[in-house]
Amino acid sequence: MEYNKAVQNRVKRMEGQLRGILKMMEEGKDCKEVIAQLSAARSGLDRTIGLVVSANLAECIQDAKDDETREESINEAVQLLVKSR
């Protein structure tokens, strides 16, 4: 599967966010501020996981030769989403 620039940029944004959180911790920022940023990072990660799974599912369904393969792809995507929680 190819990961488009938009997904890659999301991950880079989260990377920067995590670096910022580490800096906040090193500076002894208020825990409410740190938690707010951690929650935002987690939310971004969850959305990115959803995008990757849905793109993968769409690709697998298009490539599926029969209903059984299509059903397996759907079940696999659901399991990936469940694991991410």
| Mean residue pLDDT across the chain | 88
Core vs surface per residue 14-31: b (16+ CB within 10 A) or e: beebeeebeebeeeeeee
> Which domain CATH number covers 43?
1.20.58.1000
Q: pLDDT tens for residues 51-83?
A: 888 887 777 777 777 888 888 878 887 887 787
Question: pLDDT at position 16, please?
Answer: 96
Give the domain extent around 43.
5-83
pLDDT of residue 19: 98
Provide the domain count of the chain: 1
